[in-house]
Amino acid sequence: MSRTAARLTLDPAFTVGPVDPRLFGSFVEHLGRCVHTGIHEPGHPAADADGIRTDVLDLVRELGVTVIRYPGGNFVSGYRWEDGVGPLDERPRRLDLAWRSTESNRFGLGEFIAFVRKAGPRVEPMMAVNLGTRGVAEALDLVEYANHPSGTELSERRIAHGDKDPFGIRLWCLGNEMDGTWQTGHKTAEEYGRLAAETARALRRIDPGLELVACGSSHRGMETFAAWEATVLAETYDAVDHISLHAYYEEVDGDRDSFLASAVDMEAFIEAVVATCDHVGARLKSTKKINLSFDEWNVWYQRRPDSHPVEEWQEAPRILEDVYTVTDAVVLGSLLIALLRHADRVSVACLAQLVNVIAPIMTEPGGAAWRQTTFHPFAQASRYGRGTVLDVRVDSPTYGTARFGAVPLLHATAVRNDAGGVTLFAVNRDRNQPLPLDVTLHGLELNRVVEHSALADADPEARNTVDEPERVRPHRVDGSALTDGRLHAVLEPMSWNVIRLA
């Protein structure tokens, strides 16, 4: 017997809000092989004169990332930015205390900006300052080096290093995961709140137009969650624009049904942080709204032993190189839907990370670059998810999960683009059965299905590898029809779907 259909209602009069293109950001950390042999590999056959792998650049462009966060992550909390600028042969090798690796510093700020510029004219850098082992003075120096045009020691130093034009970095993270005891220079909420506020006010003396992100909790399960945000925002409310959120999901003890519902947690996390921001704003009688920078999110198998370093103090070790299945890609698609459904408050989001380290793009040193399964939902959402998110009404059959109770089988959102077309993003969480979908389109002049594309596979463990890089990729679904303002489609079992209407 086939399932009861899930119903979706769309009406352009009811919107969540415009999508900030920065929702499709990513993240490059000095961690494992993300930088070295990931994006940067002098001597590789595809490397350009700066040592940037052009095969990786092509995939980064295809992925459609809009923001790239750098240089960490946990790495930033022990980082001296000066180590990564100037002549290569004068750059020091240092211990990276976060990942217990050795950092050669052969790639630094200038190389990163060159990489971002090559990635595309609309790709924006997002820098983090070290508030673990360092403070206000070093953050000021970094912003002056990066952004001041000329005529001071630091800006002239940048020019002497070959970068005449200022980098114009607008987005700055005030530290990283400072609530975590694993963080070098970990702080209490009171200590961090004061430091973040002082740093933010000082940076604004250089440029009041900077967009500043205060650290929120490292994840929703932190004991200090919500109290941390409230304390930090009480100190920083007037001085910052965003608060950060980080979340990683994995299948635990074979509980795939709960894993497929990971976005339930992400949406609850977002809504709790919005409530906390607005509570602090109300207490301060402020009309300003703090937005959310979900600057680390992904599927990450942290519980797997091979996720962590085997031998200490190696250079560019193979760590956190998760190989993603089609199941992971469906979950990642659902997390993208969660972000879009909150586009009114989530203004920046970064898939962590970009290359090799829990990443959509993989490389072999001296060899190929290829797309993981998770590459595809991200690329499609970035390409077709620009415009205004519609406040869709979902009426779906549910299934039982151990972690979240009854959860709708359908997870969906819709984005209306400037030309009036609509793209539906939909996940069927049912592992075994197809899900019929009925969509009512009110007040939308749509008359044809441009394409229904799906990512699904008979083998839930199917993955892409260097030997079989195209094993999992989106396929075309026939039979979806739009007649008299109603769309009928069938979503394959455990699938990510992109249905474009014009």
CB of 65 to ligand AHR, least distance (A): 15
Footprint of ligand AHR on 240-259 (CB under 6 A) = 246
Query: CA of 266: how far to CAs of 21, 221, 262, 495, in Å?
Result: 20, 12, 7, 19
Report phi then psi at 109, rounded to 5.
-60, -50
- Going by the DSSP 8-state scheme, the letter that residue 470 receives in this structure is T
> CB–CB of 380/53 below 8 Å?
no
153: annotated active-site residue: no
CB of 176 to ligand AHR, least distance (A): 5
Helix residue ranges, H only, 284-430 = 326-341, 375-384
CB of 427 to ligand AHR, least distance (A): 24
> CB–CB of 415/340 below 8 Å?
yes
> CB–CB of 212/200 below 8 Å?
yes
Task: Give me the catalytic one of 177, 198, 229, 492.
Answer: 177
CB nearer to ligand AHR: give 316 or 439. Answer: 316
Neighbours of 368 (CB within 10 A): 12
Q: Which of 20, 124, 241, 296 binds ligand AHR (CB under 6 A)?
A: 296
CB of 189 to ligand AHR, least distance (A): 17
With contacts defined by CB under 6 A, name the span among 71-79, 145-153, 285-293, 438-446 that binds ligand AHR.
71-79
With contacts defined by CB under 6 A, name the span among 69-77, 132-140, 197-205, 460-468 that binds ligand AHR.
69-77
CB of 378 to ligand AHR, least distance (A): 16
Neighbours of 450 (CB within 10 A): 14
Neighbours of 68 (CB within 10 A): 23
Q: Which of 176, 363, 401, 464 binds ligand AHR (CB under 6 A)?
A: 176
Angle at which helices 189-206 and 227-236 cross, to 10° = 30
296: annotated active-site residue: yes
Task: Give me the catalytic one of 198, 211, 296, 492.
Answer: 296
Query: CA of 16: how far to CAs of 340, 345, 478, in Å?
Result: 9, 9, 30
CB nearer to ligand AHR: give 257 or 296. Answer: 296
CB nearer to ligand AHR: give 16 or 352. Answer: 352
With contacts defined by CB under 6 A, name the span among 70-78, 167-175, 371-379, 475-483 that binds ligand AHR.
70-78
Q: Total binding residues for ligand AHR by CB under 6 A?
A: 11
CB of 92 to ligand AHR, least distance (A): 22
Preceding amide of 372 cis, omega within 30: no
Footprint of ligand AHR on 93-152 (CB under 6 A) = none
CB of 177 to ligand AHR, least distance (A): 5
72 binds ligand AHR (CB under 6 A): yes
Structure tokens of 242?
Answer: 């965003």
322 binds ligand AHR (CB under 6 A): no
Q: What distance lies between CA 194 and its chain's CA centroid?
A: 27
Residues in Cβ contact with 389 at an 8 Å cutoff, skipping those fewer than 6 apart:
15, 16, 17, 18, 19, 340, 341, 343, 344, 413, 414, 415
177 binds ligand AHR (CB under 6 A): yes
29 binds ligand AHR (CB under 6 A): yes
Tokens 């207490």 appear where?
283
Here's the x/- map for ligand AHR, 335-374, by CB under 6 A: it reads as -----------------xx---------------------
Give the alpha-carbon dihedral of 491, 352, 472, 259, to 10 degrees.
-50
CB nearer to ligand AHR: give 21 or 180. Answer: 180
Residues in touch with ligand AHR (CB under 6 A): 29, 72-74, 176-177, 218, 246, 296, 352-353
Active site (catalytic) residues? 177, 296
